[in-house]
């Protein structure tokens, strides 16, 4: 009986325990946390602020969180750093990555934009100039690769920026088994697989010679085959574990601006979206080495720039071109609702425990703190469960920049960033 009681207690603890956020967009790269038992509503002034860190520097890098450590990147002066914070918001260490990428006509960004990936006792991060580093969780460098110099890497010029560099490297590396899957881009291939222990190149996707965009790769299993999928200016591209192209899918209308959002995969269907263009779902079928991608639907009801879209119980949620939050049916593309004008400002979001955590991308007034909201993840309508303002605003954003680092939820804590400021809230 005592054994049964202990087993029951263990099951309860497991059911209410937290969950890490080890990489870009969470455990499954879909912006969804598996955590349960989170606050059903927020107090009038928002959840409890646990700590504020004010030395993150410039950049839109969101943290990866493992246990009591958070890892993110930021530019201090002309150099970029990989930074580790403890559970009190104190800096544990900072490791130099390389020089910051910037140029004269850039009014939007300065600093690294990707999220580190944590795997065991290793942290992987890529700076804006394409310097990829591996460090241990104590802050000691294990290896580094200069993607441009060592791999002939190139970033698309679509959307602006100098030749071969664009707005800088902004995707986040993907750890899959013993490999680190990255998107160097260029004439040697869009994808590369590296030995995660040494940084040695294992393969390149030589038949997919696309420049890297700003969207991160995802790993999916279709027809019994492990596949790596990325969105570039030409559309979707999928390769196998050795870099062989499995299938491609062109958008119904060519992308006329940069692509940033990460593809969303569920049950054979892949969702993509881009600014000023269509949102689309393709159905991928096949097995072995033969696959095809067929367009299921395409519309302009949810054109998302870089705030992300999440899928919860068959419905898509995201911001329509920086104007309003929307909900669409994943399988049909039918619009279920649009947020009212007095709703939380459009921006980025994540999902957890049947709710959506919203971070407005632009303050209501320039120089004012950003807005945060909690709403129900329901196709029945926009229902607010709480709203508050960040305690302070960064004065270090570029003139056209915003609060663009995505929210992160790990182990009952919500992490929000506005340039040098990182705020940690208790939401459990």
Residues 289-320: pLDDT tens digits? 899 999 999 999 999 999 999 999 999 999 99
CATH code, domain with 169: 2.130.10.10
At residue 120, does pLDDT exceed 90? yes
Rounded distance between C-alpha atoms, residue 317 and residue 344, angstroms: 14
Residues 72-119: pLDDT tens digits? 999 999 999 999 999 999 999 999 999 999 999 999 999 999 999 999
Domains: count for the chain: 1
- pTM of the prediction? 0.95
Residue at 404 is within a domain: yes
At residue 17, does pLDDT exceed 80? no
Residue 280's domain spans which residues? 19-426
Residue at 420 is within a domain: yes
Residue 15: the pLDDT is 35
Residue at 8 is within a domain: no
With bands split at pLDDT 50, 70 and 90, how would you rate the model's confidence at 322?
A: confident
Task: Quote the Cα angle for 155-139-62, to 5°.
Answer: 45
Residue at 381 is within a domain: yes
Residue at 13 is within a domain: no
Residue at 266 is within a domain: yes
Residue at 9 is within a domain: no
With bands split at pLDDT 50, 70 and 90, how would you rate the model's confidence at 256?
A: confident
Strand order in the sheet with 324-329: 309-312, 315-320, 324-329, 335-338
Asked whether the beta carbons of 33 and 378 are under 8 A apart, the reply is no
* C-alpha count within 13 angstroms, C-beta hemisphere, residue 56: 32
Residue 289: the pLDDT is 80
With bands split at pLDDT 50, 70 and 90, how would you rate the model's confidence at 288?
A: confident
Residue at 10 is within a domain: no
At residue 351, does pLDDT exceed 70? yes
């Amino acid at each position: 009986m005592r054994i049964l009681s202990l087993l029951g207690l263990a099951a309860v603890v497991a059911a209410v325990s937290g969950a890490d956020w080890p990489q870009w967009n969470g455990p499954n790269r879909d912006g969804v946390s598996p955590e349960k038992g989170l606050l059903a509503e927020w107090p009038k002034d928002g959840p409890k602020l646990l700590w504020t860190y004010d030395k993150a520097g410039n950049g839109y890098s969101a943290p990866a969180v493992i246990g009591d450590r958070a890892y993110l990147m930021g530019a201090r002066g002309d150099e970029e750093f990989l930074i580790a914070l403890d559970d009190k918001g104190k800096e544990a260490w900072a490791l130099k990555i390389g020089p910051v990428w910037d140029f004269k006509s850039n009014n939007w960004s300065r600093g690294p934009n990707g999220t580190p990936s944590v795997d065991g006792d290793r942290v992987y991060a890529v700076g804006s100039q394409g310097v990829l580093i591996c460090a241990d969780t104590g802050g000691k460098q294990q290896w580094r690769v200069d993607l441009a110099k060592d791999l002939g890497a190139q970033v698309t010029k679509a959307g602006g920026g100098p030749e071969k560099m664009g707005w800088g490297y902004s995707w986040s590396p993907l750890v899959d088994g013993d490999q680190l899957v990255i998107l160097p881009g260029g004439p040697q291939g869009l994808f590369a697989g590296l030995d995660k222990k040494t940084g040695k190149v294992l393969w390149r996707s030589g038949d997919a010679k696309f420049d890297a965009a700003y969207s991160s790769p995802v790993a999916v299993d279709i027809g019994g085959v492990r596949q790596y999928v990325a969105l570039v200016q030409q559309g979707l591209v999928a390769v196998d574990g050795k870099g062989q192209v499995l299938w491609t899918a062109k958008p119904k209308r060519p992308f006329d601006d940069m692509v940033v959002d990460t593809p969303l995969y569920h049950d054979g269907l892949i969702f993509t979206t881009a600014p000023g263009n269509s949102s689309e779902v393709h159905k991928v079928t096949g097995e072995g080495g033969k696959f095809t991608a067929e367009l299921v639907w395409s519309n302009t009801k949810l054109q998302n720039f870089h705030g992300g879209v999440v899928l919860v119980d068959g419905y898509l949620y995201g911001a329509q071109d920086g104007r309003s939050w929307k909900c669409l049916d994943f399988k049909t593309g039918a619009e279920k609702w649009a947020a009212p004008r007095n709703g939380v400002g459009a921006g980025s979001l994540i999902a957890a425990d049947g709710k959506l955590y919203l971070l407005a991308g632009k303050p209501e007034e320039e120089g004012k703190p950003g807005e945060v909201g909690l709403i129900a993840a329901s196709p029945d309508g926009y229902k607010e469960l709480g709203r508050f303002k960040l305690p302070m605003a960064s004065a270090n954003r570029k003139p056209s920049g915003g609060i663009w680092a995505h929210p992160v939820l790990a182990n009952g804590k919500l992490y929000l960033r506005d340039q040098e400021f990182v705020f940690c809230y208790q939401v459990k």
